[in-house]
Structure 1
Amino acid sequence: MDVVTLGETMVLFTPESSGLLRYANTFSKKIGGAESNFAIGLSRLGYQTGWISKVGNDEFGKAILSFLKGECVDVSHVHTDESAPTGIYFKEFRNSANVRVQYYRSGSAASKMAPSDIDENYIAKAKYLHITGITPALSTSCYQAIKEAIRIAKSKDLQVVFDPNLREKLWPSKEKAQQVMLEIAAEADIILPGLSEATYLFGEKGPDQLAKCFLDLGAETVILKAGKEGTYYYTAEQSGFVESFSVDQVVDPVGAGDGFAAGFISGLLDELPLMKAVKRGNAVGAMVTMVNGDVEGLPEKDEIEHFIQPNKEDVSR
């Protein structure tokens, strides 16, 4: 196993029309969730991934399990909750630059995850543990499950990857969000915040200062994502900036950060230099934005090379 992750995946309903959601009459059904998006992204690139979660004993839960299995993600440690439903969410395409998301996840099966759902032997098989700031916000038991997973990872010398993935509406207060995020960041080896998330945690500072704040907490590698501008990277020994790839039209930005994480971690698994791993992450993130859906735009490895080198002749026709 290369990477294990844990978190909630939901059924996504996307309207066939743009504009206010109240006027949408037809929807397509998709699957989405930050951690499973990441796991699928790595799986498509040829790596072994495992996803820990809970789903309801309903058709949506069964659809999620079937979908993840079809993407070659191991779901052997996904539990079915008989008493709680699978979460759902809706996207609202106001216009090409304004995509909103409405979640219906309160009391979901995944929010019932607890430390007892975390198998030490399963996590120990992996090289990386990937977590986001979404899961600990879902409930106290989910927070405790994340802490247990981190404890196991640290005891087994796994690298802990933390993507803050801030969802402010899930937290009771900004202070609580900051407290938990910083607590987890202090346990992480690799941190993948957006610039706005880093600013949320540490206040208005420049990228170098924000990165230093994370490094001072104990992180080995800090990746600061600056959206369409590019990505900063920092360790104690090196730092740099990699420009983003130009995209003619952003169709759906949701899931781009998960795609970046998958591309970047795949680079580390391939033992690429840090700059090249960031470049691959930028490429995957950009490719995700060009397709409607959280995972539909996640590429296979040969597609990344064609995207990075667009003048290379395509002989696949």
Structure 2
Amino acid sequence: MSKTFLAVGECMVEMAPTGNGTFSMGFAGDTLNTAWYARKCLPDSWNVGYLTAVGQDQVSEQMLGFLKQSGIDVDPVRRLDDRTVGLYMIQLKEGERSFAYWRSQSAARCLAADGNHLRSAIGGVDLIYFSGITLAIMSEEDRETFFAVLKEARLAGAKTAFDPNLRPRLWESADIMRACVTKAAGLCDLVMPSFEDELAYFGDTTADVSADRYLAAGAGMVVVKNGPEEVICASREDRQAFQPKPVLDIVDTTAAGDSFNAAFLAEYLTSGNVGASVDAGARLAGTVIQHRGALVDCFEAA
């Protein structure tokens, strides 16, 4: 029987710089990026689905068509009559990216508003993947619904993976962000933070401190990404550090963490080998950041 990797979050219209002063339109978003790369990395015995909410308009239909064409199951998607999808624009400076967003009325903000739909979409899946952005765009009430359904799914045998992806501008306050992210980590088998964010918003002095904090919150295993530095993989029983190979020609770091997460999870779900999983994640992320945009069809090169 097939297994299911379900990513939960917001897919947005992406306007990405082409390098000649114009922008190209696509679809992306942190958890969607991971789902897209996971579909490329996982064997055919795995189904990859995406749980979000979209409108009934033309751009929403285009988005769903893109997901289907990418081999991603859209059955979990919630449709809303009175909203549409969000948009963001990538701005680059020396390979580092910043973003401008138009998402205040995004349909995805309502993805967990219907508890029955949420339970139906999540029930029976093997891995549920979400991020801090997934939580940030929800109302407080919807977050609690999501956490309750997540607990039910884990009791039924689902595994959970979480990238804190700390974006304080999306939250009511930095304190609420830290509290919700910590609560979410305690509900997860895998937590996959980026140390740069943890340093900035939790004040962690080292990647090991970040790992310890998430383990103390109840996480099963923590994988701390740290750019070109060592990746720390820690559980209560074991701790290992892995040095990724350097990447010399960095063009665009968009989706570096998302692609790492996808390849890591795909390898870990199939082999259970932590070292091989880090290597897979680092290799794919290293290839992605040598190209422009979030979704790079570079698997022969990787």
TM-score, with structure 1 as normaliser: 0.86
Residue 83 (str. 1) matches residue 91 (str. 2): no
Aligned match of 2:183:
183
Aligned match of 1:7:
9
Q: Deviations over 1:97-148 (max 9, x none)?
A: 3321111000111112214364435423322111101011113154245324
Whole-angstrom distance in 2 between the partners of 1:298 and 1:56 = 31
Whole-angstrom distance in 2 between the partners of 1:75 and 1:117 = 17
Q: Does the 8 A contact of 1:118 with 1:149 survive in 2?
A: no
Whole-angstrom distance in 2 between the partners of 1:172 and 1:292 = 32
Aligned match of 1:29:
25
Residue 100 (str. 1) matches residue 98 (str. 2): yes
Q: Does the 8 A contact of 1:287 with 1:298 survive in 2?
A: yes
Aligned match of 2:68:
69
Where in structure 2 are the equivalents of 1:160-171 lying within 5 Å?
160-171=160-171
Aligned match of 1:228:
228
Secondary structure at the counterpart of residue 162 of structure 1: strand
Q: Does the 8 A contact of 2:221 with 2:234 survive in 1?
A: yes
What displacement does 1:253 show? 0.7
Aligned pair count reads 295
User: Identical aligned pairs, as a percentage?
Assistant: 26
What displacement does 1:297 show? 4.2
Aligned match of 1:41:
37
Aligned match of 1:315:
none
Aligned match of 1:129:
128
Residues 245-254 or 275-284, more deviating: 245-254
Aligned match of 1:243:
243
Amino acid at match of 2:259: G
Aligned match of 1:16:
18
Aligned match of 1:314:
none
Residues 37-46 or 198-207, more deviating: 198-207
Whole-angstrom distance in 1 between the partners of 2:162 and 2:67 = 22
Q: Deviations over 1:141-175 (max 9, x none)?
A: 54245324412322212111111011121012111
Whole-angstrom distance in 2 between the partners of 1:43 and 1:99 = 25
Whole-angstrom distance in 1 between the partners of 2:142 and 2:227 = 29
Whole-angstrom distance in 2 between the partners of 1:111 and 1:154 = 23
Amino acid at match of 1:71: S
Residues 192-201 or 38-47, more deviating: 192-201
Amino acid at match of 2:127: Y
Whole-angstrom distance in 2 between the partners of 1:277 and 1:190 = 13
Q: Does the 8 A contact of 1:4 with 1:51 survive in 2?
A: yes
Residues 64-73 or 193-202, more deviating: 193-202
Cα gap change, 1:116/1:228 in structure 2, threshold over 3 Å: closer, same or farther? same
Whole-angstrom distance in 2 between the partners of 1:148 and 1:126 = 16
Whole-angstrom distance in 1 between the partners of 2:239 and 2:71 = 35
Cα gap change, 1:155/1:108 in structure 2, threshold over 3 Å: closer, same or farther? same
Amino acid at match of 1:189: D
Structure 1: gaps spanning 5 or more residues? 19-23, 308-317
Q: Does the 8 A contact of 1:160 with 1:189 survive in 2?
A: yes
Whole-angstrom distance in 1 between the partners of 2:118 and 2:210 = 34
Q: CA RMSD in A?
A: 2.0
Decide which structure has the larger Cα Rg and report it.
Answer: 1
Q: Does the 8 A contact of 1:259 with 1:298 survive in 2?
A: no
TM-score, with structure 2 as normaliser: 0.91
Q: Does the 8 A contact of 2:160 with 2:190 survive in 1?
A: yes
Whole-angstrom distance in 2 between the partners of 1:86 and 1:178 = 27
Amino acid at match of 1:109: A
Whole-angstrom distance in 2 between the partners of 1:218 and 1:53 = 26
Q: Deviations over 1:259-310 (max 9, x none)?
A: 01111111111124211111111111112111211112463xxx3xx64xxx
What displacement does 1:59 show? 2.1
Amino acid at match of 1:181: V
Q: Deviations over 1:48-102 (max 9, x none)?
A: 2111111122222111101110111100111221101211111112x33332111
Q: Does the 8 A contact of 2:18 with 2:292 survive in 1?
A: no
Whole-angstrom distance in 2 between the partners of 1:201 and 1:96 = 24
Whole-angstrom distance in 1 between the partners of 2:236 and 2:273 = 15
Secondary structure at the counterpart of residue 36 of structure 1: helix
Whole-angstrom distance in 2 between the partners of 1:175 and 1:84 = 29
Residue 52 (str. 1) matches residue 54 (str. 2): no
Cα gap change, 1:266/1:298 in structure 2, threshold over 3 Å: closer, same or farther? farther
Whole-angstrom distance in 1 between the partners of 2:95 and 2:134 = 27
Aligned match of 2:203:
203
